[in-house]
Amino acid sequence: MEIGGNIMSQTIGTQSIQFDQAPYIQSSASIVGTKEGEGPLGKLFDVVGSDDKFGEETWEEAESTLQKEAATLALGKANLKKENIRYIFGGDLLGQNIATTFGLMELNVPLFGLYGACSTAGESLSLAAMAVAAGYADNVLAVTSSHFASAEKQFRFPLEYANQRPLSATWTVTGSGAFVLGTKRSHLRITGITTGKVVDYGVKDSMNMGAAMAPAACDTIYQNLVDFKRQPEEYDKIITGDLGTVGQEILIDLLKKKGFDISMVHMDCGIEIFDSEKQNTNAGGSGCGCSAVTLSAYILPKLENGNYKRVLFVPTGALLSTVSFNEGQSVPGIAHGVVIEYAG
């Protein structure tokens, strides 16, 4: 087998891969907090916690528990044991990926720790799919999480401060989504990916992440359509992670200027997961967990039952830290595209 030639033949365009042996999504799991459970998708999640600390002492420990429980549930739904998993691709929003480190440590599975901010669901699925498609693993696990309280504490203000939130702000989702990918046939396949680049339009407002991430989403979606030689209507949905209402409008306008109108097929997980008026979430949901749990609970079932045939899943991330923000740096964005198709 000419591995080098085989792999090279799968690269298309400038940023994409079309898999010859497309990996299957064996199972997924979603665990969320109380506010998410009260939202429009509340009845679709596998588990809705009754306590946002999930029985732990701190918010960070609660997020670790989210990841561990989501990963364990996904394994169970795939009828696999942790010993059947070759690699885990996981990450979160906290410094040094501590939610992932402490949450998945007990599984004792080789781990690739990832940081793509809120694009981590796309990054983990992309790398997991590459590992399976290249023959490096029969089964892998992709997992990510976020927690409203731990994210606010790290990136903005502790909850006790009672900071006011502008209308452009988004609400970090408390939740974790886990996905088992493998070679065993199922109804869902990841047929291709488009890896995003860091895009910076100079936005410096940490309370307007939608505006910071929309240019990166535009760049990745545009490149996916060019690389795969597709039109927007060839996807049942083009799904961004957490642009919210502000970022959605910017994204649609930016892509129109590039010759593509996605307004009829666009969906944003941050808009879907909350009822912004009733739940006071302003521009919508955000966080690593936002796109991951929405994909698991809402989007994949629509693919599995054949309502959707092909979607482009594009989680979006704002690459800021407290240090870069406080030193006056802008907020660059990144977005990773994952093509998921109904396999029959």
pLDDT band at 250 (very low <50, low <70, confident <90, very high): very high
Average pLDDT on 179-186 reads 97
Cα-trace Rg, the chain: 18
Whole-number Å distance between alpha carbons of 239 and 235: 10
Q: Looking at the chain, how many residues does it have? A: 344
Question: Exposed (0-12), middle (13-18) or buried (19+): which is 65, by Cβ within 10 Å?
Answer: buried
Three-point CA angle 274, 89, 123, nearest 5°: 60
How is residue 185 written in tokens? 């046939």
More confident call, 328 vs 89: 89
What DSSP string runs through 50-114? SSTTTT-SSHHHHHHHHHHHHHHHHHHHTT--GGG--EEEEE-SSGGGHHHHHHHGGG---EEEE
- Lowest-pLDDT choice from 90-99, 150-159, 173-182, 319-328: 150-159
Contacts of residue 162, Cβ cutoff 8 Å, sequence gap at least 6: none
pTM across the whole model: 0.93
β-strands 316-318, 333-335 pairing: antiparallel
Give the H or E element holding residue 318.
Answer: strand 316-318
CATH number of 3-182: 3.40.47.40
Domains 3-182 and 188-342 share a fold: yes
What integer pLDDT is reported at residue 325 of this predicted model?
Answer: 67
Average pLDDT on 104-118 reads 96
Whole-number Å distance between alpha carbons of 314 and 70: 21
What integer pLDDT is reported at residue 75 of this predicted model?
Answer: 98
- Using the CB atoms, write b or e for 248-266: b if 16+ within 10 Å: bebbbebbeeeebebeebb
Three-point CA angle 257, 260, 265, nearest 5°: 130
Side-chain-side CA neighbours of 149 within 13 Å: the count stands at 17
Q: Which amino acid is at 243?
A: L
Which architecture, in CATH terms, is 188-342? 3-Layer(aba) Sandwich (3.40)
What integer pLDDT is reported at residue 138 of this predicted model?
Answer: 97
pLDDT band at 340 (very low <50, low <70, confident <90, very high): very high
Q: Which amino acid is at 132?
A: V
Average pLDDT on 134-157 reads 84
What integer pLDDT is reported at residue 3 of this predicted model?
Answer: 39
pLDDT band at 295 (very low <50, low <70, confident <90, very high): very high
pLDDT band at 167 (very low <50, low <70, confident <90, very high): very low
- Lowest-pLDDT choice from 202-216, 236-250, 324-338: 202-216
Whole-number Å distance between alpha carbons of 213 and 20: 31
Closest CA to 207 of 157, 162, 276, 266: 157
Mean pLDDT over the full length of the chain: 90
What integer pLDDT is reported at residue 157 of this predicted model?
Answer: 52
- Lowest-pLDDT choice from 204-213, 281-290, 328-337: 204-213
More confident call, 285 vs 179: 179
Beta bridge partners of 140: 87, 181
Q: Do 197 and 15 form a contact (C-beta atoms < 8 A)?
A: yes
- pLDDT, one tens digit per residue, over 200-235 is 988 877 667 888 899 999 999 999 999 999 999 999
What integer pLDDT is reported at residue 285 of this predicted model?
Answer: 87
CA distances to 56, 71, 80, 81, 331 from 212, rounded to whole Å, are 33, 30, 39, 40, 6
Q: Enumerate the domain spans of the chain.
A: 3-182, 188-342
Percent of the residues in the chain that have a pLDDT greater than 90, as a whole number: 75
Residue 327 has pLDDT above 90, yes or no: no
- pLDDT, one tens digit per residue, over 36-83 is 999 999 999 999 999 888 999 998 999 999 999 999 999 999 999 999
Residue 338 has pLDDT above 70, yes or no: yes
